[in-house]
Amino acid sequence: MSDSSLSCPCGSGLLLEGCCGPLLAGQPAATAEALMRSRYTAFTRGDVAHLLRTMTPEIRVDFDPVETARIATEADWLGLEVRAVSTGDAGAETATVEYVASFRLNGQKRIHHERAEFRRDPEAGWQVSGGEVNPKGETVRNTAPGRNDPCSCGSGKKYKKCCGG
């Protein structure tokens, strides 16, 4: 199956070629939310080059491409939930996107909850410029759900009949 017929991993409901695909190929994002969704998709595909390309120089210094590639390829990516977007339209210079990415790593379900900050560069377009992990002091659940719990992927099925099967 070609990439052009795949649903986009970001959960937009669009095909990859009409959603995050062009951004992964280097096209600038029109909004901060679109960039954030493309970064999630990059994680699901192990596209570390896209992650690096879409960071401001200030945060690139702390980026570990080897460890990021390891996690990106070893994780089973379960879904993305965009919780809030502030500004980030085509005319804005800064934006914030709050999101939750769910994944399974080493047999444990995990979430990454972040309020990410974005800045628009005149040449590079939208770039992630920082963020706050686990905003509002929320507790992160690092254990797998029970077999009879609803699956966190949003299918509506029990965990044991879906991702836990």
pLDDT digits (tens, 9 = 90+) for 58-89: 999 999 999 999 999 999 999 999 999 997 56
CATH of region 3-161: 3.10.450.50
Angle at 152 between CA 111 and CA 133, to 5 degrees: 15
155: left (phi over 0), alpha (psi -120 to 50) or beta: alpha
pLDDT digits (tens, 9 = 90+) for 12-61: 999 999 999 999 999 999 999 999 999 999 999 999 999 999 999 999 99
**Sequential DSSP letters for 68-129:** HHHHHHHSEEEEEEEEEEEE-STT-SEEEEEEEEEEEETTEEEEEEEEEEEEEETTTEEEEE
Strands 76-87 and 94-105: antiparallel
CA distance 119 to 93: 6
Residues 6 or more apart whose Cβ sits within 8 Å of residue 31: 88, 89, 90, 95, 126
Is the whole-model pTM more than 0.85?
Answer: no
Tokens matching residue 71: 């996690």
